[in-house]
Amino acid sequence: MKLGHFKPVEITIYGAEQICASCVNLPSSKETYEWLEAALTRKYPNQPFSMNYVDIMNPPAEEKLQAFAQRVIEEDMFYPVVLIEDQIVAEGNPRLKTIYVEMEKYGYQAPTV
């Protein structure tokens, strides 16, 4: 199977060490980040993507990341918040199927067996 040429998508996960009040029995944002990275790597082998984790309580200096981290807090979003190419695709407990559908819009393909 020959894969199409595409630009690796950027996935950004905004979260915090403290689990959000509505997400008490769910994994932490950092655990979700690690789980999602592993799942996407397995689903789309040899199809690169970049993943970034942003701590909403201590975001990096980049203005765009700080602004969205502030928005997560101000709008009381359920975190982690998952963005693909700056589009929100999941809040709280992300569903893999939803993220796969979004990835496939950018040309990612699961290998056929």
pLDDT block averages, 10 residues each, the chain of length 113: 66 86 76 95 95 95 96 92 96 93 94 80
Cα–Cα distance for residue pair 79/16, rounded to 1 Å: 8
Span 10-105: which CATH code?
A: 3.40.30.30
pTM (2 decimals)? 0.88
